[in-house]
Amino acid sequence: MNAPVHITLTGLIVALVIAFAIGSTIWWMLHPPASFVQKLAAQAESEFERLVGSIMVVFSQDIESGHMMALAAKLARGERSELLAIYVIEVPFTLPPDAEMTAEERTALDALGAAETIAVKNGVNIRTEIVRARVTSQSVLDLAKREKANLIILGSFREGKYTGAPLGRAIETIAANAKCDVLIGVEGKHGTLLVDEFGQAAAPGGNEDRQPNV
Amino acid sequence: MPEKKKPELRRSVTPWGSFAWGYSDVGADIFVGLGLVLGAAAGASNVAFLFAGVVYVCIGLAYTELAATYPVAGGGQYFVMRGLGDIFGFIAGWAVLLDFTIDITLFAWACVDYLSQLLPALNTTANPWPHFIVALALVLGLLSLNIIGVRESTAFNGVVSALDIVSETTILTLGFLFAFRPEILIHTMQTSWPSSNDLMLGISLAIVSFVGLESISQAAQETQRPASVIPRTSVALILTILIFALSYSNLALGMQPWHPIPLDAHGHTQALWHWLGNGDNNGKAVALLAQQVPYFGAVAAFYVPVLGAILLLISSNSGVFGSSRIAYAMSSAKLLPSAFQRVHPKFRTPMVSLVAFVGVSVIELFFAALPSLDPAASALYARWFNGESGLGFLADLYAFGAATSYSFVFIALVALRLFDPLSPRKFKMPFNIPVTVRGERAEFPLVAVVGFAGIFAILLFTLKTHPIGRIAGPAWLVVGIIIYLLYRRNKRLPILGSQRHDWRTQQAEILRNAGELELMDEYLANLKASDERRAQAAAAP
């Protein structure tokens, strides 16, 4: 036969003190003060969260951003950011603003279609937009302001890739005047950028027969 | 040619991991200590725990300060060697080794006791042989696992520790809420106050409930940001264990049991505390207490023995790898022969250390179990050792080893405070007196003096009240010192003196390796300022 239960005020107080003391001790232990290095890391992380709140990926006749789209999608997925892909069709001053530019529009649809595919594959919601403008850089800056973009992602200059020359006028203007952060992705040459100690391009098969450049 | 850098251990132990590392060692102590103290100190068990608890807080603060200042493996042995020299470092380390070997046996024994709650065939009184065989099998099993290199998972330790904390908090909270009666506590304390000899015995056994802080300092070398994390995990561990120990002892003395307590061997009624502290039950007191908590006891009766057994087995395992780690550290410091550093060619584990110290624990297990296995031995123990056997035998030696090593740690702390004041201390024991030593400002720690007085008193209580601890403990130290002297003589190392150490360079490296870059900067700035002061003083007419 069980004994009767006795709830006393002392017992109640002690029980509460035990539960509170153990709980608060463990909580306190698990929250040590941050070190200087950890504060730096936290600051960088909060900067990053601010950086990728809203991402705008820019395509145009001069700007090849296909290779950056996957990166943008992964960033947006990780941080649950808004993703906007725009294609700017530059209309020459010699044509009226609504001039028919079938080939350019077709290219734009292809680029944005590919962007949508990448976004869907990464489980990210994406908005796409084709913009007609006289000057690509200015239209990108205006759009970034309208959309309150935190980050503009650009690829490299379409024609020459990266050869040590400037990135291209449009990209440089955007980078210089944007009120938000700009990420420029210069597509590498996939292994051929590296040169060995003799100034020769590194290639499979060894370099036993190569002579130093003198 | 660039200097080849030694690969360093990756610091992967998180705050919870560090806490769980210590908790899986110290947290298990109350499962053993509660019954032993109730059996010895009776109505003053809470006072015994309070006395040992105050000393334990001082020990905890000392270890916290030392482990945060010198975050290296080696623990007490390293602190004492650095503060007092090689031979004292050896004695402290050797005493810790005794504790680790006892740790293996004591917790394996208690693990079987807890299992016997669900499997009566393992009861030590009724079936001593099965109890002994299972305990021996556990010890040898742990040895095999450690030789093969199967390590317990830190995550598993963390989960078991978390479950245990939740479980113990629930037992105590519900116990106090539904079954605690202050008048029973007062009555028990008034009518069952022990003799002063029993109280001293109880206090020396109560310290058993607080042994294992060494584990956190052993883990310091693998803990992330040790100077910041170790103080928190140590203080949290100290508080958690102290709260549990004081609460359990008061609850046991003042609880109205939910179920009737069985009659004693003479057919008399007995109080809960008396039942928990008798020879049949003192190895599983927490499980029996939990069973007496109204409502919750029905559930606790099934899972607390299992949880206790798991925690005790983890603690036993911490003794296996703790002993091999400390033997390895002592061997690296040239305090023990290099054989203890030798690793198995296939398994890459320190087999010599493992076999040697687990071998010692098997011998201890044999001597602990002997009286229950052989009536002739029982008579012998009754004549020479007050009939101490089993858990009491093991707790004797455990208390001796702990009290000896902790005494040295307190002295080392004072020495390091006075002679190494330039090392930055992110955590300091409170209540210090500013002093100047060799032209440097230092702080004399008052709490260390209180702690030393307390632990030295416990050491004296142990020697006075434990017939086995009085003989076997000092004998262990004498054997160790002989090994040490022969080894140092053989290696032509200073026998009573110390080897040369470049502590300045070592300390900067320790802090850099610990990732405590701000503390390293502070230390280097302290050294520079000290050197400038000395140069100015030397240049002055």
Between B225 and B455, residue with greater pLDDT: B455
CB B506 within 8 A of CB B527: no
Range B46-56 average pLDDT? 93
Same domain, yes or no, for B291 and B249?
yes
**Are β-strands A63-64 and A156-157 bridged in parallel, bridged antiparallel, or unpaired?**
antiparallel
pLDDT value at A169 more than 90: no
How far apart CA B162 and CA A150 sit, in angstroms, is 42
How far apart CA B31 and CA B111 sit, in angstroms, is 9
Bridge partners, A129 (sequence order): A86
pTM of the shown model: 0.75
Three-state SS string over B3-31 comes to CCCCCCCCCCECHHHHHHHHHHHHCCHHH
SS3 assignment, position B345: coil
pLDDT value at B187 more than 90: yes
Mean pLDDT taken over chain A: 78
Residue A9 contacts B, CB cutoff 8 Å: no
Range B324-352 average pLDDT? 85
Q: What share of chain B is helix, strand, coil (3-state, %, to 5)?
A: 75, 5, 25
How far apart CA B222 and CA B20 sit, in angstroms, is 13
Bridge partners, A55 (sequence order): A83, A151
**pLDDT bracket for residue B74 (50, 70, 90):** confident
Contacts of A12 (CB under 8 A, 6+ apart): B176, B177
In this prediction, what percent of chain B has a pLDDT beyond 70?
Answer: 94
Same domain, yes or no, for B24 and B150?
yes
Residue A1 contacts B, CB cutoff 8 Å: yes
User: What is the pLDDT, as a whole number, of residue A197?
Assistant: 44
Same domain, yes or no, for B447 and B509?
no
CB B34 within 8 A of CB B286: yes
Domain hosting residue B512, numbered range = 505-536
Same domain, yes or no, for B447 and B532?
no
**pLDDT bracket for residue B497 (50, 70, 90):** confident
Domain A49-184 part of CATH 3.40.1160.10: no
Range B38-62 average pLDDT? 92
Contacts of B454 (CB under 8 A, 6+ apart): B51, B54, B55, B58
Q: Which of B21, B23, B176 to mutate against chain A (most A CBs within 10 Å)?
A: B176
User: What is the pLDDT, as a whole number, of residue B249?
Assistant: 94
Residues of A in contact with B250 (CB under 8 A): 14
Let me know the angle formed at the C-alpha of B63 by B480 and B18, rounded to the nearest 5 degrees: 105
Same domain, yes or no, for B276 and B366?
yes
CB B191 within 8 A of CB B353: no
Over residues B376-385, the pLDDT tens digits come to 878 877 777 7
Residue B228 lies in a domain: yes
**pLDDT bracket for residue A199 (50, 70, 90):** very low
A14–B176 C-beta distance less than 8 A: yes
Same domain, yes or no, for B476 and B521?
no
Residue A35 contacts B, CB cutoff 8 Å: yes
Residue B211 lies in a domain: yes
Between A204 and B242, residue with greater pLDDT: B242
Over residues B102-141, the pLDDT tens digits come to 989 999 999 999 999 888 888 888 888 999 999 999 999 9
- CATH number for the domain spanning B77: value is 1.20.1740.10
Same domain, yes or no, for B395 and B514?
no
Domains held by chain B: number: 2
Same domain, yes or no, for B496 and B516?
no
Same domain, yes or no, for B87 and B203?
yes
Residue B120 lies in a domain: yes
Over residues B13-28, the pLDDT tens digits come to 778 888 888 888 888 8
User: What is the pLDDT, as a whole number, of residue B221?
Assistant: 64
Over residues B136-162, the pLDDT tens digits come to 999 999 888 888 866 556 677 788 889
**pLDDT bracket for residue B475 (50, 70, 90):** very high
Residues of B in contact with A20 (CB under 8 A): none
Residue B9 lies in a domain: no
Same domain, yes or no, for B446 and B514?
no
In this prediction, what percent of chain B has a pLDDT beyond 90?
Answer: 41
Domain boundaries, chain A: 49-184
